[in-house]
Amino acid sequence: MNLQRSYLADFVSLLFPELCVACRQSLVANERLICTDCRYNLPFTNFHLQPDNIVARQFWGKLDIEAAYALYYFTKGGKVQNLMHQFKYKGMQQIGNLLGNLASEQLTRNPIFNTVDAIIPVPLHKKRLRERGYNQSTCFAEGLAQKLNAPVLDNNLVRVIKTETQTHKSRFARFENMQEVFTVLNPAQLVNKHVLLVDDVITTGSTLEACGAELLKIEGLKLSIATIAYAE
């Protein structure tokens, strides 16, 4: 019976091969979502080893943060863009969980991230959440939580204003677009906590800056930032 199931699975895979979400090549046995070659050769940043990395420098003079991190470099037309497109727009929520696991393997090597008390995803407006069906930042946060041993708090920081797309805006326009967009519903839950704020892709950092500024109003709160990718 097991042999028959194996033959059936092989036949189905010939007709409908599973593809790597990054390079779009066929996956082989025991590969899940990302092929072995991409798993090891996608453009890792290694920012967990660089306290003054590019992401951290984006917040100098703007937010008082403990550490900042991105898993991959994002380039237009590259494999990471393919991966993010499948994740955000094709309903493949499991990609976020996998990437969270991969990122947490790096972050646990940095003592700063081992002190995280709570993980907070950048929230979507409730209308956009209904349209998409899930928040990609929450999926990533849940993957991180498994090894960082910190809870995901996805209902405390909320987006109260639905903003226009940020894609074609200048840095200043993006900053203006994010003013008074977020609020914290239960500040007492985060007093004296080390919070890891997470998002999918960081470009100018305006969204994370707006979220972070709201969180840092809370007494004793320490803030770190992690994203899946940094867009150069």
Distance (Å, rounded) from C-alpha 82 to C-alpha 35?
A: 13
Distance (Å, rounded) from C-alpha 111 to C-alpha 31?
A: 31
Distance (Å, rounded) from C-alpha 212 to C-alpha 56?
A: 13
Q: What are the per-10-residue average pLDDT scores of the chain (232 residues)?
A: 46 64 94 96 97 97 97 97 95 96 97 98 92 96 96 96 57 56 96 98 94 97 98 87
User: How many CB atoms sit inside 10 A of residue 78's CB?
Assistant: 16
Say what the pLDDT of residue 10 is.
46
Say what the pLDDT of residue 31 is.
94
Q: What are phi and psi of 195, to 5 degrees?
A: -105, 130
Say what the pLDDT of residue 161 is.
83
* SS3 state of residue 157: strand
Give residue limits of the domains in the chain: 1-41, 43-231
- Give me 101's structure tokens: 């696991």
Distance (Å, rounded) from C-alpha 148 to C-alpha 22?
A: 25
Helix/strand/coil percent split, the chain, to 5 = 40, 20, 40
pTM: 0.86
Residues 6+ apart with CB under 8 A from 178: 163, 206, 207, 209, 210
Distance (Å, rounded) from C-alpha 17 to C-alpha 36?
A: 16
Distance (Å, rounded) from C-alpha 109 to C-alpha 120?
A: 20
User: What is the domain class of 43-231 according to CATH?
Assistant: alpha beta
